A and B are shown apart, each in its own frame.
Chain A
Amino acid sequence: MPVEQIPYRQTGSLVAGNRLLAAELRAGQARPDRADALTCGHRACRGCGEALAARWVVDAALRATANRLIAVNATGCLEVFSTPYPESAWQLPWLHSLFGNAPAVATGVAAALRAQGRTDVRVLGQGGDGGTVDIGFGCLSGMFERNDDVLYVCYDNEAYMNTGVQRSGATPPAARTATTQAVGPEPGNVFGQGKNVPAVAMAHEIPYVATATVADLRDLEYKVTRAMDLRGARYLHVLVPCPLGWGSEAHDTIRLARLATQSGLFPVFEAEHGEVTAVTRIRHHVAVEEYLRRQSRYAHLFRPRERTDVIARIQAQADRNITRYGLLAESAPEEVS
């Protein structure tokens, strides 16, 4: 988020609605009249990061489009917990088709709107990491390549949660999932090559690519708003901790996202037309261990004996991100001060 010059504040824009800021500088989510597009009664687990992020994203998109918005959802937790018949939690026109086709369905919606001359209505596609980086990858790339007028948001909880926490292409190394169990000499997920979909999106040189987390929701809101200012294919990759899949406390959801960013494991940045334009610096640098320890999916790295070798490899990944994105650059202005 760009540096806001806000004099005299105790919390700046880190909190949602610092009462010391002018109303227009507060988060949309601080407003009493916010849309709550994902309304209560939905069946997400306690402390679900995906549910939290989705409300921020959809509300922000609604605000940016004066409520002229249609959402397309891939199969996954978000879809399942929001629309078990006969209940729907959605306050906007919303379509779920399949697990792997949300970007293409969104393209179809956009095409229809264009044909109908309803170009004031905008399209939001959304899905989990599985629906995005794995099974929906082809459709996503097609949507990017054609530069269809869709903002696609991936809620990355780093596994197939809805089906019971199986490994996805976004599952980090060493993490335990139902299909990468913590057994054998190298427990948990393999150290693969990784699948950096934001970078893949950037390689398509689409107008806008950004990452965000539930640890900096104002930044998330800003990025949705920014994305809605633009036309063409836009991609937002949001890290959303999942208490069930990560084996973390429900109240730690935001803290974990924070630790992911502050350790450098999850770089937060913005890119336009393939070039990085802004990076959120680390405010309080922490070792990856602090992040890993709070999640039972990494428990085998600490018990029965501490796998310092594995932790060091994960640390190296974080360090690489730090260098690569300049997450600790000294001359950089602090993001929100």
Chain B
Amino acid sequence: MLRQIEGSQAVAAAVAACRPEVICAYPISPQTHIVEALSATVKSGALAPCEFINVESEFAAMSVAIGASATGARAYTATASQGLLYMAEAVHNAAGLGLPIVMTIANRAIGAPINIWNDHSDSMVMRDAGWIQLYAEDNQEAADLHIQAFAVAERLSVPVMVCMDGFVLTHAFEEVDLPGQNDVDDFLPPYRPRQFLDPSDPVTIGAMVGPEAFTEVRYLAHVNQLRALDAIPAVALGFAESFGRATGGLVRPYRTDDAETVVVALGSVLGTLKDVVDELRDDGLRIGVLGITTYRPFPFDAVRAALTNARRVVVLERAFSAGTGGIVTADVRGAVAGAECVTVVAGLGGRPITRASLRRALVDAHGGRVESLTFLDLDLRLVERELARPR
């Protein structure tokens, strides 16, 4: 059903269609609209049997999800930014326990300075938490990814974060084809965990593991993550067959086949990028785009395949590691051999990424004229004034 709908509402509808049994959340912009909508749905009884728990913190939200998931319930929560950091310990824990929780991250910057606008600093912090991370390009994909996320999570016993750009997607009205309940039911069977907390078959979950087996536990987690590299495309394929849409998957190459320069990016910026690339193609520049949908596990092979012919790779980063540089770049470098790889940091804390700026940067990059770490639209006056201040 096609609808002109706010991204948050679309995601809420998609999550509801997945028939979660326990939803818990703590408010933080720009995630609020999603859980507000879900709370209304649960309260109305439309989602029964489902429990919506208003918790006292994000830490509690993830903890409730952990308890619920370990008890064999399909559990969902959503957060952003500070909230994600506040639940950090539990985020790692959920992955360590192998609980197939699905969480939406309405990507937002991290303070200080406090900033409610969009970038990827929050979810990037959690890239090593043991979760699968999927990044939505648009609201259709954001909605679809949640359905696929539950399927992948439950198949592998690994939690999944669906990251969607705060405000840019969550608050944007777009046309979305909302998945029908019957189709979702066909696609996503009820959650039937192999093991859960059950008095008829008592298990101990969350034992203390010492040096004698900790490495093995981590190794197994790794193996499990690698399985996701097969599972995610398989689920996406299945989804496409059921719903007639190709969303999700590992990577999404756009005009990369003969591209000398490929721009790698995650999330909603891909739309603008494609437009810019189309323009530059018209200008004769052999430029392509590689969208990364699955950032964790990192699809090295898929990225490598998409970049084999590129001479230059530009990683457009929505977050960065102060003192070090691009975060995604580090992963991409691991996937390409010969190509030069530069980082363009853009759109931090909600700064708009304009076509013009992008175009300029890509042209420069294509011409080999950008430094290995560049900040798009950096206000040099402001920076220099600060730097000049006596300390």
Contacts and interface: CB of A to CB of B under 8 A. Distances in A.
Interface of A: 67-70, 72-73, 79-80, 83-86, 88, 90-98, 100-101, 104-117, 121, 138-139, 141-142, 145-146
A105 B89 CA distance: 13
A116 B71 contact: yes
Interface residues of B, number: 45
B199 A67 contact: yes
A108 B63 contact: yes
Contacts, number: 165
Interface of B: 21-22, 24, 49-51, 53-57, 59-61, 63-73, 75, 89-90, 93, 97, 197-199, 201-210, 212-213
Contacts of A94: 197, 202-206
A141 B204 contact: no
Given A98-B63, A146-B54, A108 B208 contact: no
Contacts of B49: 114-117
Nearest to A65: B199
Nearest to B51: A111
Given A80-B208, A104-B60, A112-B21, A98 B67 contact: no
B199 A108 contact: no
B67 A108 contact: yes
B68 A112 contact: yes
Contacts of B213: 85-86
Contact of A84 (B75, B97, B208): B208
A93 B199 contact: yes
Given A85-B207, A104-B64, A115-B49, A70 B197 contact: yes
B70 A95 contact: yes
B150 to A, nearest CB: 15
Contact of A96 (B60, B199, B201, B205): B205
A111 B73 contact: yes
B204 A72 contact: no
Nearest to A110: B67
B64 A107 contact: yes
Given A79-B208, A108-B63, A116 B72 contact: yes
Contact of B97 (A72, A97, A109): A97
A64 B213 CA distance: 37
Given A95-B206, A107-B63, 16 more contacts: A69-B199, A79-B206, A85-B207, A85-B210, A91-B202, A94-B203, A95-B67, A95-B70, A98-B63, A104-B61, A106-B67, A107-B67, A108-B69, A111-B68, A112-B71, A115-B51
